[in-house]
Amino acid sequence: MDSSHITLALARRSQSDLRWEIEVHFDAPGSQKLQMLTRNNLHRRLAMVLDGEAISAPTIQSEISSVCQITGNFTEREAKLLAALLSGGSNCRRT
């Protein structure tokens, strides 16, 4: 699955513990692909690759459909950079 299915990626504070996280939204075809991928790979890592380099590899915690949160020990800067990279990849593929 490529980033063309990402409709929005934004850095925000978690409502539960105020840590920085990235919220990612997917279009309908991407949501279907992501749901199947995450259902079949629970507790495994999912690499996000940009220009041949892994920019993040979170562990799949649950089945995901249209919206997911990438959590970790992000600083504000790191969360905003990852959100921008995910959004930028999406924007680049659509032009």
**Nearest-angstrom CA–CA distance, 36 and 59:** 15
pTM recorded for the entire structure: 0.84
Domains in the chain (CATH in brackets) are 3-90 (3.30.1360.200)
pLDDT tens for the chain, 95 residues long, are 778 899 999 999 998 899 999 999 999 999 999 999 999 999 999 998 888 888 889 999 999 989 999 999 999 999 999 999 998 754 433 32
Beta strands in the chain (DSSP E): 6-13, 20-26, 48-50, 53-56, 67-74
